[in-house]
A and B are shown apart, each in its own frame.
Chain A
């Protein structure tokens, strides 16, 4: 199942299982989307009015409904930040408890070929200080599916950041009858070498490709991919203890590093753990360009990771073929099943 399909099926399931679940968005009622035909009373087209439609959803959520609102890009949701952060994200505490606004904000985000500086921002970290909001950033179809089901039942306001770059990623997974708990992260690799690559979001497929190359060359890094950042405690004790098993910690981010999610993770880790070597790879401190060639050079690619891991572990360099233009620009289109053993 592809990433986009997983999102759609999970959304359909929540609409079906709970009549109080409502779906809002621009274009959401288009024929072929498959929502309006099945749920004519639960699906609503919005005007091009992000702020007001978001406020409407917050109001509905405050009165017992479970609305989901979808935005095509994070930049469009920015118009509604008052409602997301200051209203939905503050009510429960501000009104002294018992007045939650469990609105669900599904926000598409991130890199996409040729989309340019106003459609590709990776504003993940801005949400992190909205301490009452659960933040979900799925990297795989099963994570997206399960997180949507989980958040639709949750009492907390929730933000799901859907990376468009992952749209074609494929995974076969078992659909559970009930989702009770979801994990904050997932580990890939056998922990043989003393290095953990911490990453999240759209970097996972790139890190997995790098891991493949390293393993062929007898280097065995472990990847810890973060995908759920619960309110109140963004990084879990379990994840911190896991990271503590490694001496070398490489943080790989598709966003600019400074004050992003992984620089936050690093600062929390350094409060808890001693004698660690931290390294990072990230996009530069400029917006993502529109030109495909400039974009090709902008994001961290698998070779950057391979080279850096070799350097950190003092292994000899691996001869690498160039990352093709297509590979760096296009959506990764492969099955990740083999990584789940």
Chain B
């Protein structure tokens, strides 16, 4: 695939995540669905960039906000929709719900919402792959909040000690629920020194709103981890457009006090907008791109409703 093809394929995946989640949000509100929901809208470039920068044989492991990770990895869309709405045809038979995604067919090996839990589990998965002599990576997605659990540091040390092919992706949207990082971290907290100097792991921090940057950084880290037999951390600065949990994606939340002035950043740094600009640089016109987007939106709306219409929402 040349660069333009990669970008267009990424565009499709990001639209897929956006449209599926927007529809989930809409139908949750309309039907007053009683279930947990953490949307990844705004953070699509993180999941997509990492999925593109790694390989099909690599494993993903997720957290409470993992629809995007699952979809970017190629997880079955219908089974995710069923699961989120509590239908027993879902990827976890309706037992799990939105916070528990699973599609072993595409090496999406689960998501768990207890913060920090996923890290040592993912290192165990990475170790099992290593012991089986597979030449692949295990990628675990966590938030900036989860990186405050002791298991983050313990896992980095342990996985470093055992030389495990593990990539920890921190999606740093600055918040744990509505508590911002300045309330939770020491002034001057320095990931780079801790991880690189202290724990001797590979570390890279890039703009998580920009697919291309995430893609490049993941590709490089993948190579390095497999070559040097060392752990990696990819730190992505990103923006959560939705409320922490629930179906609300509104300017009301985006403008609320706890976010300070983030609203303007959200307007400026929509990952799909940034990707469009990158595609324009390959020679396509905005009109051509909009046409493609329009088609993709229709395609994924249809896919969503084909499954959703089969759900008896009152009976799930």
Q: A-side interface residues toward B, CB under 8 Å?
A: 26-27, 29-31, 45-52, 75-76, 79, 113-119, 287, 289-294, 325, 329-330
Known: A47-B184, A113-B35. 6 other contacts (CB 8 A): A49-B150, A114-B34, A114-B36, A290-B96, A291-B88, A329-B34
Query: Would you list 18 pairs from A and B whose C-beta atoms are within 8 A, ordered by A residue?
Result: A26-B177, A47-B185, A48-B145, A75-B114, A76-B115, A79-B116, A114-B36, A115-B97, A116-B95, A116-B96, A117-B95, A118-B99, A118-B100, A290-B96, A290-B100, A293-B86, A294-B86, A294-B95
Query: Does B115 contact A48, Cβ atoms closer than 8 Å?
Result: yes
State the Cβ distance, B246 to closest chain A Cβ, in Å: 11
Per the bound structure, the CA–CA distance linking A169 and B117 in Å amounts to 33
Chain B residues near A292 (CB, 8 Å)?
A: 33-35, 86, 316
Per the bound structure, the CA–CA distance linking A287 and B93 in Å amounts to 13
Chain A residues near B145 (CB, 8 Å)?
A: 48
Other-chain contact of B149, A29, A49, A325 (Cβ < 8 Å): A49
Task: Please give me the residue from chain A that is nearest to B143 by CB atom.
Answer: A48
Query: Does B88 contact A294, Cβ atoms closer than 8 Å?
Result: yes
Per the bound structure, the CA–CA distance linking A2 and B113 in Å amounts to 29
Other-chain contact of A115, B36, B92, B148 (Cβ < 8 Å): B36
Chain A residues near B116 (CB, 8 Å)?
A: 48, 79
Known: A49-B150, A75-B114, A79-B149. A26 touches B176 (CB 8 A): yes
Q: B-side interface residues toward A, CB under 8 Å?
A: 33-36, 86-88, 90, 92, 94-100, 112-116, 145-146, 148-150, 176-179, 183-185, 257-258, 314-316
Query: Does A291 contact B87, Cβ atoms closer than 8 Å?
Result: yes
Most A-side CB within 10 Å, residue of B34, B99, B316: B34
Other-chain contact of A31, B33, B36, B257 (Cβ < 8 Å): B257
Query: Does B95 contact A289, Cβ atoms closer than 8 Å?
Result: yes
Known: A26-B177, A27-B179, A291-B87. A116 touches B36 (CB 8 A): yes
Chain B residues near A325 (CB, 8 Å)?
A: 314
Query: Does B97 contact A48, Cβ atoms closer than 8 Å?
Result: no
Query: Does B94 contact A48, Cβ atoms closer than 8 Å?
Result: no
Most B-side CB within 10 Å, residue of A50, A79, A118: A118
Task: Please give me the residue from chain B that is nearest to A72 by CB atom.
Answer: B177
Query: Does B99 contact A29, Cβ atoms closer than 8 Å?
Result: no
Per the bound structure, the CA–CA distance linking A290 and B90 in Å amounts to 11
Which A-B residue pairs are the 5 nearest by beta carbons? A114-B35, A290-B97, A291-B86, A291-B94, A113-B34
Query: Does A117 contact B149, Cβ atoms closer than 8 Å?
Result: no
State the Cβ distance, A324 to closest chain B Cβ, in Å: 11
Query: Does A29 contact B258, Cβ atoms closer than 8 Å?
Result: no
Chain B residues near A50 (CB, 8 Å)?
A: 149
Other-chain contact of B36, A47, A49, A52, A290 (Cβ < 8 Å): A290
Chain B residues near A46 (CB, 8 Å)?
A: 184
State the Cβ distance, A305 to closest chain B Cβ, in Å: 23
Per the bound structure, the CA–CA distance linking A24 and B223 in Å amounts to 43
State the Cβ distance, A228 to closest chain B Cβ, in Å: 29
Query: Does A48 contact B148, Cβ atoms closer than 8 Å?
Result: yes
State the Cβ distance, A36 to closest chain B Cβ, in Å: 10
Chain B residues near A287 (CB, 8 Å)?
A: 95
Task: Please give me the residue from chain B that is nearest to A293 by CB atom.
Answer: B316
Known: A116-B96, A292-B316. A48 touches B146 (CB 8 A): yes
Per the bound structure, the CA–CA distance linking A113 and B88 in Å amounts to 16
Chain A residues near B183 (CB, 8 Å)?
A: 29, 45
Task: Please give me the residue from chain A that is nearest to B95 by CB atom.
Answer: A289
Per the bound structure, the CA–CA distance linking A51 and B116 in Å amounts to 11
Per the bound structure, the CA–CA distance linking A81 and B114 in Å amounts to 15
Task: Please give me the residue from chain B that is nearest to A114 by CB atom.
Answer: B35
